[in-house]
Amino acid sequence: MAYLLSKENFAKIGEFIYRKSGIFLEEEKHFDKIAKYIDKRAAELGMDSFRKYFFRLRFDDKDGEEFQELMNAVTVNETYFFREKDQFEVLVNRILPELHERMPAGKPLRILSSPCSTGEEPYSIILHIVEEGKVVEERDIEVVGIDIDSTVIQKAKAARFTERSVHAIPKPILSKWFVKKGLGWELGEELQGTVDFHVANVFDKTQMRKLGKFDVIFSRNMLIYFDDASRKEVAMTFYDMLNPGGYVLLGHAEYMSRIVSVFKAKKIDNTLIYQK
């Protein structure tokens, strides 16, 4: 059976997705995924053409639900605890002590995980902070996680993880902070609610501004889905959201020097970090 989506219309919806979310879809790689999604969604809405679906998405979506459904379908949410682990160690051993030293007493230290997917990244930050212990005893640390996909944010809030997701957590840490539940693991009560999660699009300036200022921003494995212009826009948004001297950490395949030149790059124990 033919799809409702034609190659020509793929270009139209691809452009719409790109403009609204920065996600750059390629016809060769993503046509089938988007076409299947539109067939399914149009059937649910009782529509028989791409035109009707696209009209609803663009002009009849006042509460943004249709766009949210589409985002939930197109995003790639791959993540796991302690991914690119060296960065968490640099955070607790080098960055936090330095920020703690130079920040006025009583001011909380704020860390943003953008994007956080199902929560493994911000909870890995929390686990490293509580395990390291020194700074957290003397200073409030707030961790915020955001993602454009509302289904992953729901899962992050539920704090239940698969065996695969926790595979890289050392066993003593896993049994100390998690409870085995059925086939997976649930975050223990002490750490429940330690991350403040929100659905937010990094291209939505109002949503991003509402989150406030941060001292550290983790933005790992999202910019790879964007093109250069979108990467630049997001990098500048992060720059504006950082307090002076704050840091950005990117995924291992992402380099700030290729995007913007406003940050100072520093190498600590083979980990690149970028300072405002």
Ligand X SMILES: C[S@@+](CC[C@H](N)C(=O)[O-])C[C@H]1O[C@@H](n2cnc3c(N)ncnc32)[C@H](O)[C@@H]1O
Residues that bind ligand X (CB under 6 A): 21-23, 75-79, 83, 115, 117, 121, 147-149, 152, 201-203, 220-222, 225, 251
Rounded to the nearest whole angstrom, what is the least distance from the CB of residue 102 to ligand X in the complex?
27
Rounded to the nearest whole angstrom, what is the least distance from the CB of residue 67 to ligand X in the complex?
11
Rounded to the nearest whole angstrom, what is the least distance from the CB of residue 120 to ligand X in the complex?
6
CB closer to ligand X out of 179 and 224: 224
CB closer to ligand X out of 9 and 21: 21
CB closer to ligand X out of 69 and 147: 147
Tokens encoding 206: 């109002």
Across 116-146, b (16+ Cβ under 10 Å) vs e yields bbbbbbbbbbbbbbbebeebbeebebebbbb
Mapped onto helix, strand or coil, the DSSP state of residue 186 is strand
Rounded to the nearest whole angstrom, what is the least distance from the CB of residue 200 to ligand X in the complex?
6
> In 138-202, which ranges are E strands?
141-147, 160-161, 178-181, 184-187, 195-199
Tokens encoding 149: 């996909």
Rounded to the nearest whole angstrom, what is the least distance from the CB of residue 261 to ligand X in the complex?
23
CB closer to ligand X out of 11 and 253: 253
| Separation of alpha carbons 250 and 273, rounded Å | 8
| Separation of alpha carbons 244 and 214, rounded Å | 9
CB closer to ligand X out of 20 and 50: 20
Q: What is the largest CA-CA distance in the chain?
A: 65
CB closer to ligand X out of 78 and 101: 78
Rounded to the nearest whole angstrom, what is the least distance from the CB of residue 207 to ligand X in the complex?
9
Exposed, middle or buried, 244 (CB in 10 Å: 0-12/13-18/19+)?
exposed
